[in-house]
Chain A
Amino acid sequence: SLSLLAESDDNNFILQGTQVKDVIIKPDAPNTLLLDKHADYIAAYGSKKDDYEYTLSEYLRMSGIYWGLTVMDLMGQLSRMNREEIIEFIKSCQHDCGGISASIGHDPHLLYTLSAVQILSLYDSINVIDVEKVVDYVKGLQQEDGSFAGDKWGEIDTRFSFCAVATLALLGKLDEINMDKAVEFVLSCMNFDGGFGCRPDSESHAGQIYCCTGFLSITGQLHKVNADLLGWWLCERQLPSGGLNGRPEKLPDVCYSWWVLASLKIIGRIHWIDKAKLRSFILACQDEETGGFADRPGDMVDPFHTLFGVAGLSLLGDEQIKPVNPVFCMPEDVLQRVGLQPDLLS
């Protein structure tokens, strides 16, 4: 199909006479999985003295640690990370209200509360934090309409509905919130195309769809999804390059290999993606020199895209990587230990 493509302008290619927004994968792009390089990249991340990017990302440090640990565990390399230091760090990030912040000196937020609980689940050390207070914090963020705010400042987003139930599920405390209202709110975000947005009427977006299908899985409400319609919308994300975008007419990005693929897995339609083409796109996003994955071939790598590239490959069945749970984006064996097996549609 490369021969059918002619470049018209930046990232707009003509395929069989019609304009398509996509990337071209160069013939010399990486096509084998470089797991050792990725493990080295993550293990060394943050230890370089002049790493400005690491500094800048302090405001999301808890999530950054979750991305790094999860991908290392998926690669069987968790032991290379500093467990004790991380656990101490998390303890220092729990506030009086029970919520957990991205880093020391930052304010608590649902996003980082979830990341912290995920990390502690990986390390089987949930009880180093005050679990009851975490539950109080999460409960306190639920609004009258069932939605969840991210923190005391009140931003509402279905991402936070997912964070709330995922956190509570990992703590075994799902029964502490108003489940019916929470479900009602998420379902009110279902759109005419079968997708979900961040609030009612918001445009369907693969990231939000992952959060909503994950939410509905955890709460046992997947039967409310129109799986054929949503599955069709999701498999429409695949572009000629094999990569996936997040909504119509956008460029592919390796993190959508997770958001889209996990959603399809949850609703039982992962086979609607051309797996071989997606795999070759994901592999092309690796950096052979530095290790790690970038959003698309040739760009700069980062831990976020590295996790989602590896997790996507796991969902596609790569046997060199541990099986990953599509709802929690954590190794399946961790969830088995915790005793969580959220529903998936067949």
Chain B
Amino acid sequence: LQMCFGVSSLSESREQNQYQFYNLMCLFFYFRDRKEWADLEPVPQDDGPNPVVKIAYSEKFTDVFDMFRALLKNDEKSERAFALTAEAIELNAANYTVWHYRRVLLQALDKDLREEMKYITAIIEDQPKNYQVWHHRRMVVEWLNDPSEELQFVAEILSQDAKNYHAWQHRQWVMQEYKLWDGELEYVEELLEEDVRNNSAWNQRHFVISHTSGYSAILEREVQYTLKQIKKAPHNESAWNYLNGILQDGGLSSYPGLLEQVTELQDTCSSPYLTAFLVDLYEDALETNSSSYDQQETLNKALELCKLLAEEKDTIRREYWNYVSRSLQNTYGSGDPVSSSSDPPPPSSSQQPDTEPSDP
């Protein structure tokens, strides 16, 4: 016995109550046996002009989809057709043709869209990782022009799986379409409190800020926030990607105090990401020919870190680190030919970066 879908809200119409009753019985009364469906000739599955293989279906699946095909063939737009789409969806919510048909019926029969919202809410809660169900919800929201339930609904789905890609797309669409930005940064922070490695939440943070205040005025706040999260969980790709991303335009090496703060983290919060970030920072210093950095020493430090990553801290990506090393040598080195098994770079003259202008 299948668990039948009887969760949808009850409607007043007698026709619908009949199907509701059948659903709630938890015994399946095949459509082919129902007198109200006797006028329809079920259309069996057609796999092409010369079907070579015979496929056995479960009885219920066959029954429902044979009737569905009959309805499609006759282009029938009726209450019973509408009820059947719910049955078909329950059996296979990924079947996009059924969803299309349901939307056609919603419009042709002028169905109550509020009821449809309740229906799609239940379906998504049951099967939240499906393109069709989310697209259907979006259409209903658009038809109703009412986003008032959306943020709360998506939050509920995200509470079950905080990285559901479809849920996040829907949320972003609602926010942009209806300009619902308030409170989102707080929501993102809540999610990051729960799981600081939630890449979707970091992406959302970037989304909200980009579309509201922008980064110029609040850049320092974001840098400090990100460093704070890194201290909590140093091995966090998302946080480091975010830090890198928001500082791209300005340049890593020229951001005041950044090198010091990151270097300070090395003792307690070291990770391959921190080391990689330092390489990026040094590379930026070299690229911009920054007067705050001794170019040769910076190059040596960068090469040393690349070697550390390639040989010890991130060996699975040794090819990448060797590439970075070679690029740095070729671009900023003294011009000697380079091989990846080059001599170790000369030891650094100090542990602290040289922030004084170098002597002429």
Which residues on A are within 8 Å of B, measured CB to CB?
18-20, 46-47, 49-52, 54-56, 58-60, 82, 84-85, 88-89, 92, 101-107, 109, 151, 153-155, 191-193, 197-199, 201-205, 231-233, 235-236, 238, 240, 242, 247-250, 269, 271-274, 277
- Please tell me which one of the listed residues B69, B72, B238, B317 contacts residue A249 in the complex, with CB atoms under 8 A apart: B238
Check A59 against B56 for contact (C-beta < 8 Å). Answer: no
Task: List 17 A–B pairs whose Cβ atoms lie within 8 Å, in order of A's numbering.
Answer: A58-B95, A85-B49, A88-B48, A89-B47, A109-B96, A151-B100, A153-B103, A155-B131, A191-B203, A201-B207, A201-B210, A202-B168, A231-B320, A236-B237, A238-B317, A248-B237, A249-B199
A47, A54, A107: residue with the most chain B Cβ atoms closer than 10 Å: A107
Check B206 against A248 for contact (C-beta < 8 Å). Answer: no
Chain A at the B interface: SS class: loop
| Interface 9-mer from B147-155, B223-231, B241-249, B330-338 | B241-249
Closest to A204 in B: B203
Bound CA span A191–B318, Å: 25
Known pairs A153-B135, A203-B203, A274-B316; A193 contacts B241 (CB<8 A): yes
A250 partner residues in chain B, CB cutoff 8 A: 163
Interface residues of B in 17-42 (CB under 8 A from A): none
B203 partner residues in chain A, CB cutoff 8 A: 191, 197, 201-204
Which residues on B are within 8 Å of A, measured CB to CB?
43, 45-50, 52-58, 61, 69, 72, 92, 94-97, 100, 103, 131, 135, 139, 163, 165, 168-169, 172-173, 176, 197-200, 203-204, 206-207, 210-211, 234-235, 237-238, 241-242, 244-246, 248, 271, 316-320, 323
- Please tell me which one of the listed residues A19, A199, A203, A274 contacts residue B200 in the complex, with CB atoms under 8 A apart: A203
Cβ distance B71 to chain A, nearest Cβ, rounded Å: 11
- Please tell me which one of the listed residues B55, B199, B207 contacts residue A247 in the complex, with CB atoms under 8 A apart: B199
Cβ distance A271 to chain B, nearest Cβ, rounded Å: 5
Known pairs A59-B97, A85-B52, A107-B96; A272 contacts B57 (CB<8 A): no
Known pairs A88-B49, A153-B139; A202 contacts B169 (CB<8 A): yes
Cβ distance A2 to chain B, nearest Cβ, rounded Å: 14
Chain B at the A interface: SS class: helix
B96, B206, B245, B246: residue with the most chain A Cβ atoms closer than 10 Å: B96
Across the A-B interface, give the 7 residue pairs with the lowest CB-CB distance, nearest first. A192-B245, A18-B235, A89-B48, A203-B203, A59-B95, A248-B199, A106-B97
Check B57 against A271 for contact (C-beta < 8 Å). Answer: no
- Please tell me which one of the listed residues A50, A198, A235 contacts residue B317 in the complex, with CB atoms under 8 A apart: A235
A242 partner residues in chain B, CB cutoff 8 A: 316
Bound CA span A204–B237, Å: 13
B92 partner residues in chain A, CB cutoff 8 A: 56, 59
Check B56 against A50 for contact (C-beta < 8 Å). Answer: yes
12 new A-B pairs (CB below 8 Å) besides A55-B55, A232-B320? A47-B53, A50-B56, A104-B46, A106-B95, A155-B131, A155-B135, A192-B246, A198-B169, A204-B203, A249-B163, A269-B320, A272-B323
Check A49 against B168 for contact (C-beta < 8 Å). Answer: no
Check A107 against B199 for contact (C-beta < 8 Å). Answer: no
Closest to B57 in A: A55
Check B96 against A106 for contact (C-beta < 8 Å). Answer: yes
A247 partner residues in chain B, CB cutoff 8 A: 163, 199
Check A248 against B238 for contact (C-beta < 8 Å). Answer: yes
Bound CA span A203–B245, Å: 13
A52, A153, A271: residue with the most chain B Cβ atoms closer than 10 Å: A153
